[in-house]
Structure 1
Amino acid sequence: MTSPSVIDLHDAISDCWNQIGVVGDQSCDKLPANIHCRNCDVYANAAQRNLQRPVDAQYRQDWASHFRARQDGGDAKDHSVLVFRIGREWLALPTKVFDSVAPQATPHVLPHRSGRGLLGIVNIGGKLYPCMSLASLLGIDEHDAPPAKGRHTFARLLLMRWEEQSFALPVADLHGIVRYAGSALQTPAATINKGLSRFLSGVITENDLRIGCLDTALIGFQLARLLR
């Protein structure tokens, strides 16, 4: 029995996400529960089949040539950050400090510990995390959201780890991972509010976004201090 060709296997995958999912008319009955097609088992199974498709010698040769080619010009993108939004501010922290991203969850308030940035405790996958407000720490109005520009927003909890302590950080939107060269880091503008600017190590640009890169050590220290 011969293996199916690359084209046959690829065509057999139904791209329902482009028809009735987030890219289509959004009529899929699974969408309300999953929020986004990438959380759906149908999408995951299609991705798995796509990764398992056979490839021919020419395909391997083309990609081998691509990765062998030297990249001329520009500095190496040696930094990787996860970009998220709080209020109107797009911010970033290094990807290495995050364990995972989780759906929003309502924190359970702790007696006599309200305010000061500690929102309460959240249960994520059977594990308890202190839920911390970066908006409060950075002096950002989290209700001052920018107008929608034809895209979905994805409020999430970022599960961050700093010196063996884990935190859940609510964010209003998630852009994703951005890689940049260290030399591209710019000085924060003088117009940035002082509460936020002291936590920034610099600013990067990604397409039309101006992203404030947070000082990881300072953020970690302040979050830990709020738990004492």
Structure 2
Amino acid sequence: MTDQTQDMDACWGRIGVAGDHSCEILDKAVHCRNCEVYAGAAMRNLQRPVNQGYLREWAEHFRAPRDEGVRHDSSCVAFRIGREWLALPTHMFQQIAPKAIPHRLPHRSARGLRGVVNAGGKLYPCISLADLLGIDEAGGEARAGRHTFARMLLVQWEQQTYALPVAELHGIIRYAADALKPPAATINKGIERYLAGVLPHEEMQVGCLDDSLLGYQLARTLR
């Protein structure tokens, strides 16, 4: 009789917890799993030879092509300015803050620089993407069925944080990098030069801004 056959007909099935409970050790051990006989059988079960059918089955399993579906390897935060839905990479974001009125800076007139704003007790330069990208802030409407509020996006580029006012915040979008499409020929040329691509999402066409190009432009406003 082999070890495997002995284990199948072991004492725990006859006189132990799975049998008639007549084992003289059971009162002390309480349960068969606390008995050396049971533990020894478990070790022999784990160490038993693996048959070829089992090996073939798992080899086929791991040999099969992995179906990962669409791999969402990128993410961005989408927002609206005027009629335009835009997005910046998630890694740039430090905080979402309520809209605040900027205080103008004397003798500073760089395009897009509206002054400084207070967010959480700290002052940040307030940069208008509408001015930088040539967007009409008066256009656009809130998405149906949503309560929308103007927000300030606190984003960081090269250790400097900027406050960007927006009309509406959509939130984080996860997407596959190869899902980005070229911008349409009719897109605002001021926006096009800063785009990494356009992301179709729900009923929106979201312009994904290139963080390097936009970051450089943000830094220029403070020089």
- Using the size of structure 1 for normalisation, the TM-score is 0.67
Asked whether the equivalents of residues 93 and 213 of structure 1 are also in contact (C-alpha less than 8 Å), the reply is yes
SS for the counterpart of 1:110 is coil
Pair 1:98 & 2:93 matched: yes
Instruction: Give per-residue Cα distances to partners, 1:179-220, cap 9 Å, x unaligned.
Output: 000111111111101111111110111111110000110000
Letter in 1 for 2:205: R
| Structure 1 unaligned blocks of 5 or more | 1-70
SS for the counterpart of 1:80 is strand
Pair 1:132 & 2:127 matched: yes
Tell me the distance in 1 between the aligned counterparts of 2:110 and 2:221: 10
Tell me the distance in 1 between the aligned counterparts of 2:143 and 2:79: 15
Asked whether the equivalents of residues 110 and 222 of structure 2 are also in contact (C-alpha less than 8 Å), the reply is no
The 1:147/1:153 distance shift into structure 2, 3 A limit, reads closer
The 1:196/1:227 distance shift into structure 2, 3 A limit, reads same
Equivalence map 1:76-115=2 (5 Å): 76-114=71-109
Letter in 2 for 1:196: I
Tell me the distance in 2 between the aligned counterparts of 1:163 and 1:147: 33
Q: How many residues align?
A: 159
- Using the size of structure 2 for normalisation, the TM-score is 0.68
Deviation at 1:114, TM superposition (A): 3.9
Instruction: Give per-residue Cα distances to partners, 1:141-178, cap 9 Å, x unaligned.
Output: 01112365232112100000000111000000000000
Tell me the distance in 2 between the aligned counterparts of 1:145 and 1:112: 33
Aligned residues with identical type, % of pairs: 63
SS for the counterpart of 2:123 is strand
SS for the counterpart of 1:105 is coil
2:175 to 171, 177, 180: 180
Asked whether the equivalents of residues 117 and 134 of structure 1 are also in contact (C-alpha less than 8 Å), the reply is yes
Tell me the distance in 1 between the aligned counterparts of 2:86 and 2:77: 8
Asked whether the equivalents of residues 75 and 183 of structure 1 are also in contact (C-alpha less than 8 Å), the reply is no
Larger Rg: 2
1:162 to 157, 164, 171: 157
SS for the counterpart of 2:130 is helix
The 1:147/1:176 distance shift into structure 2, 3 A limit, reads closer
Deviation at 1:73, TM superposition (A): 5.6
Computed over aligned residues only, the root mean square deviation of the Cα atoms, in angstroms, reads: 1.7
